[in-house]
Amino acid sequence: MKFKNNFTCLLLLLPAIFFAQTKTTITIENNSVLDRKETVVPIEWKMILNSFPKIDTANFVVLNPKTKKQVAYQLEHKTSSNIQNLLVQVDVKAKSKVTLLLQNGKPEKFVAKTYARYVPERKDDFAWESDKIAFRAYGKALEGTNENAYGFDVWVKSTPNLVVNERYKRNDYHVDHGDGMDYYNVGYSLGAGSMAPFVNDTVRYSANYHAWKVLDNGPLRSTFQLKYDTWNAGGVKVSAIKTISIDAGSQLNRVENVYTFDGDKPLPVVVGIVRRTTAGTISLNEQQGILAYWEPTSPKDGTTAVGSILTTPVASMWVDKLQLLAKTSVKSNETIVYYTGAAWDKAGIITNAKKWIEYLEKFNEEIKNPLLISVK
């Protein structure tokens, strides 16, 4: 009789065990007063495994239970060979939640919305993009040439399609062929929001990056590292590794810098945006850590907007003859995170200075109010 009771209990448990191994529910909650649109949400992979330990990483789908349609996703590795996060892109209205179902199945092939690559055919460029905007950084091969520049470059876009490969293939990216172009002038500045040490009231530029590594590459987030060899920053020997990621739907990059130098004293650093000689719209918000610049309009090429958001306390912001600057500080071998990016009025989304500043302010609020995730 005892054996029969135990066998009956086992039979009753089997459906629950089977369910736990074949599907799980993800709830994404937005407690803020801001609607979240096209947001890439990271869900810790260990949370997935706790609920769905037998998941086959090559054969699962994420479904919207209301529409019955698959939701685009990505397995994010960062610097590890193991999966760190499941990334999904969703819209979540203010004070509401979205529920997704993760289960066994054959995933669709999702359209890539981000991309990053080393470009050896163009003097060691490194280029990256989202479906909104594109950028590049300059490598060792450009040093000592009359084309050299220090900071981040912007490639404006008027299409959600990925354009980097096609533009390099055409070798004519300074002309708008209907999808945008490169008309942003970086020069010897921090360009579109790069960071550098600021020692003795002087920006201490490094050489260009000398090593690179792609960590993740779409469809929803692309992440890579650029390594900068040791340089003399006003008497301080400094080296740096910059980890940059861009999400689908975003105008801004997340930049994670690690500076290495001797001593325990914090190193002053600045984020900078190159300014033009003619009038534009400048906004310096020290309290919120937001630099915003709506460049003067080019009659032919339109208007580029550039902005940066610091997540560490800002000591000061100012404008000099060359660029907009925001000063903060960092300790050796400690990560400092900020966001920087751009927009183009001809894309038809952000079409004036007011909308650009509002975009940056909303982005800043989203950083401060992360979405809440539960998996069961």
State the architecture of 115-368 in CATH terms: Distorted Sandwich (2.70)
- 219 cis-preceded (ω within 30 degrees of 0): yes
Superfamily designation of domain 16-108? Golgi alpha-mannosidase II (2.60.40.1180)
What pLDDT score was predicted for residue 16?
47
What pLDDT score was predicted for residue 4?
46
What pLDDT score was predicted for residue 127?
98
Torsion of Cα atoms, 117 then 121 then 126 then 131, to 10° = -50
What pLDDT score was predicted for residue 1?
44
Tens of pLDDT, residue by residue over 256-307, are: 999 999 999 999 999 999 999 998 999 999 999 999 999 999 999 999 999 9
Alpha-carbon distance values, 36 to 33, 93, 159, 286, 341 (Å): 9, 6, 22, 25, 19
Torsion of Cα atoms, 89 then 94 then 95 then 96, to 10° = -40
Q: 311 φ, ψ to 5°? A: -105, -5
Domain limits, CATH 2.70.98, in the chain = 115-368
Residues of the chain below pLDDT 50: 1-5, 7-11, 13-14, 16-20
Q: Which amino acid is at 155?
A: W
The 10 Å Cβ neighbour count of residue 213 is 13
Integer Cα distance of 158 and 244 in angstroms: 23
Integer Cα distance of 376 and 369 in angstroms: 23
What pLDDT score was predicted for residue 21?
60
Integer Cα distance of 376 and 20 in angstroms: 9
- pTM for the model: 0.93
Contact predicate 323/272, CB 8 Å = yes
Integer Cα distance of 30 and 26 in angstroms: 13
- CA nearest 86: which of 24, 160, 132? 24
CA angle 315, 362, 158 (to 5 degrees): 110
